[in-house]
Amino acid sequence: MSEPRTFTEQNPIRVFLLDDHEVVRRGLADLLDSEPDISVIGDAGTVEQALVRGPALRPDVAVLDVRLPDGDGISVCRELRSRMPGLTCLMLTSFDDEEALLDAIMAGASGYVLKQIKGSDLVSAVRTVASGQSMLDPATTARLMRSLRAEPAPGPVEPSELATLSPRERDILALIGEGLTNREIGKKLYLSEKTVKNHISRLLAKLGVQRRVQAAVLATHLDRPAPGEHRPG
């Protein structure tokens, strides 16, 4: 287990902001920059800008709005963490949405807070996730993860959609169900990240779903091989 990260005035938490409202970004920047151990190093108003600017700036923490005009902060979280495994993401939203929270957990977010949060609490949340801790409520997280496994497969029969998957796609689906990023899946299966992305696009189409978390639910119905059993790729 890695040591908790520590930050100081000389080595501040480098924060990147993503929100489509300029006033919100400015307010967040002013709030966070007023803290001696936090430095806002950049921001973006769209998914496209975030995916270009984020990796170039190498932040420690990304504060990401969940709903954006050209996409969503959860997919940005997944993509940025795939490129920067050391990055921690704090999701910021106006809505108390359990499905979005589950999506955030699956994307590897370290925290999920409502925009109604007090300024001092948001500063604390940034420090918490930067240090390697989680701002996700443990009870809520546990309940949501249990809901993924709430419906066992009906006997040995699998949903018909799963029967269309290749052995490699089934392996990838199982790892999606474990919450792994594309990069982590690639390392585990010795595939390039681009190859994993292509496999995931195909398996989502075969399963008739659009979102990764929906595939994760179907992954709970997979007939897993016995330990030690090798499935051909």
CATH class as words, domain 160-219: mainly alpha
pLDDT confidence of residue 101: 79
For residues 218 and 174, give the distance between their C-alpha atoms in angstroms, rounded to a whole number.
Answer: 9
Q: Would you list the DSSP string of 116-140? A: TS-HHHHHHHHHHHHTT--BS-HHH
Residues 6+ apart with CB under 8 A from 179: 105, 106, 108, 216
Domain ranges of the chain: 13-145, 160-219
What 3-state class would DSSP assign to 155?
A: coil
CATH architecture of 13-145: 3-Layer(aba) Sandwich (3.40)
Kindly give the confidence (pLDDT) of every residue in the chain, 233 residues in length, as a single tens digit, with 9 standing for 90 and above. 455 677 878 899 999 999 999 999 999 999 999 999 999 999 999 999 999 999 999 999 999 999 888 888 988 999 999 899 899 999 988 776 667 777 788 788 888 888 888 999 999 999 999 998 888 766 666 666 666 555 444 444 456 778 888 999 999 998 888 777 788 898 899 998 889 989 999 998 888 887 787 788 788 777 655 444 444 44
What 3-state class would DSSP assign to 66?
A: coil
The pTM of the full predicted model, rounded to 2 decimals, is 0.66
For residues 192 and 229, give the distance between their C-alpha atoms in angstroms, rounded to a whole number.
Answer: 24
Positive or negative torsion for Cα 14, 20, 23, 27: negative
